[in-house]
Chain A
Amino acid sequence: LFASVDRVNAELFTLTYGAVVRQLLTDLEEVEEVNKQLDQMGYNIGTRLIDEFLAKSNVSRCVDFKETADVIAKLGFKMFLGVTATVTNWDAEGTSCSFILEDNPLVDFVELPDTCQGLQYCNVLSGVIRGALEMVSMKTEVTWVRDMLRGDDAYEMRVKLIKQVPEEYPYKDDD
C-alpha cells in the first residue's frame, strides 16, 4: 500500500513547519492566537487530506468510531507522517480515546523556549484529525493531554466524539 505513495524528506517538512510556527509567533504575538491559527490551518488541511487518504487506502466506510480511530492510527499516521500511533484509554461508552505518539516528526530540532510555554507546537495535527473526521460525519473535539516538549514522556491526543451527523436531504420541498 505504501510503496505507491510519493515520499518526501521528513526534515524538509519538519523545518518548513517550524518556519510556519515561527512566522505565526512573529505575526500574532499571542501564543494563544498561534494555537488557534495552527488548529485552523490543520482543520483546512484535514478537510482536504481525507479524500486523498480515502482514495489511497481504499477504506470504504467510516461509520464505527472505534474502527475509524484504529484506521487513523495504523494507516493515517503511517501514510502522512511515517509513524504509527497507538489508540488507548477508551472510555466506557466508546466515544473518546487517546492517540499516543512515541515519535513525532514535527518536533525534531525543536526546543520550547520559556517565552512560549503555552504554545501547543503540534496543534496542526489535532486540527487535521478534527477536519478529516468532520468530513466523514464525525464531529469531534481534539485536545493535547501530554506533550514531550513540555517534559512528558509521550505525545497524547485526546479525541472525543461529540456526534455523528447523518447526511440530510439538502433541498427544500418547494425549490
Chain B
Amino acid sequence: MQFFGGSSLTSVAPEASPAPAAPPGTGTGANAQVLYVFNRNGVCLLYREWHRPLRTLDPTQDHKLMFGLLFSLRSFTAKIDPTAAEKGNLGVPLLPGQGCSFYSFKTNTYKLNFMESPSGIKLILITHPRTGDQRDSLKHIYNLYVEYVVKNPLYAPGTPIKCELFNKHLDQYVRTLI
C-alpha cells in the first residue's frame, strides 16, 4: 500500500508507470472513489462519491452514459467470448447472467469494478487503478443493500435509495477497502 504512504507527495515512491498520485485518502485505505447502483430498468438507485475531483457531465447524463457503457460492454464481452458456442447477435438483449460478463476494466487513472446479480442489480465501484480484485467487496456491498435497503419496508423497490442506515454502513465498509 505504498500509494497511501502519506499526505505529502515526497513520501510517494517514484515510479516508472504514469499512474497518477494516489487519492488523498481521508483515512487508511480510503480507496473507493465512486459507487453506482442500477436496477435492471436502468434506474440509478444510488450514486455515492468519496473522491471525484472532476465532473464533466450533469448527473443524469453521467448515470445514463454509465448504464449504457455497462450494457454495451456486457453484450460485447459475451459476443467475443471464444469459448461459448451459442451466441446471439451483438446487441441482442441478454438475460441477466446469460453469457459471460466482465468483472472490471482498468485505465491508467482508475479501475471500474462491476457486478450484476441475476435479479439485474448492477453495482459499479470505481477505485484506484492499483486495487486488487473487488468481487468480494461488491458482493459484500450487495449484502448491505439486501440488509438495509431491500429489507426496509419503507423503501419502495425501484426508487432511489434514501436510507441513512445503508449509507452509514456503506461508508464504514468502503473505508476498510484496500
Contact B120 A135 (CB under 8 A): yes
- Interface residues, chain B, with chain A CB atoms under 8 Å away: 40-43, 64, 67-68, 71, 92-98, 117-121, 139, 142-143, 145-146, 150-151, 157
Query: Interface majority SS on B: helix, strand, loop or mixed?
Result: loop
- Pick the residue among B68, B92, B98 that contacts A171 (CB under 8 A): B68
Closest chain-A Cβ to B161's Cβ sits at a distance in Å of 13
Q: A167 and B93 in contact (CB under 8 A), knowing A48-B151, A63-B98?
A: yes
- How would residues 46 to 67 of chain A score, 1 for a CB under 8 Å from any chain B CB and 0 otherwise? 0110111011000111110000
Interface of A is mostly: loop
Cβ contact of B95, chosen from A51, A164, A169, cutoff 8 A: A164
Q: Closest CB of chain A to B67's CB: distance in Å? A: 8
Q: Let me know if A168 is at the binding interface, CB within 8 A.
A: yes
Q: Are B118 and A54 in contact (CB under 8 A)?
A: yes
Contact A55 B98 (CB under 8 A): no
Set of chain B residues within 8 Å of A62, measured between Cβ atoms: 96-97, 118
Residue of A nearest to B71 (CB): A169
Q: Which of A59, A61, A171 is the one whose CB lies under 8 Å from B64?
A: A171
Q: Which residue of A lies closest to B74 (CB)?
A: A167
- State whether B96 touches A59 (Cβ < 8 A): no
Interfacial chain A residues near B97, Cβ < 8 Å: 60-63, 136
Restricting to A130-175, which residues have a CB under 8 Å from any CB of B? Answer: 135-137, 164, 166-171, 175
Q: Which residues of B contact A171 (CB under 8 A)?
A: 42, 64, 67-68
Q: B139: which A residues are within 8 A, CB to CB?
A: 55
Which interface class (under 10, 10 to 19, 20 to 34, 35 or more) fits A? 20 to 34
CA A175 to CA B42, docked complex, whole Å? 13
> Which 5 A-B pairs give the minimum distances between C-beta atoms?
A61-B97, A170-B42, A166-B93, A135-B119, A62-B118
Q: How far is the CA of A166 from the CA of B94 in the complex (A)?
A: 5
| Inter-subunit contact B118/A167 (CB<8 Å) | no
The answer on a CB contact under 8 Å between A169 and B93 is yes
Interchain CA distance A175-B157 in the complex, whole Å: 24
25 contacts across the A-B interface (CB closer than 8 A): A48-B150, A51-B150, A52-B146, A52-B150, A54-B117, A54-B118, A55-B142, A55-B143, A61-B96, A62-B97, A62-B118, A135-B119, A136-B97, A136-B118, A136-B119, A137-B120, A164-B95, A166-B94, A167-B40, A167-B71, A167-B93, A167-B94, A167-B120, A169-B42, A171-B68
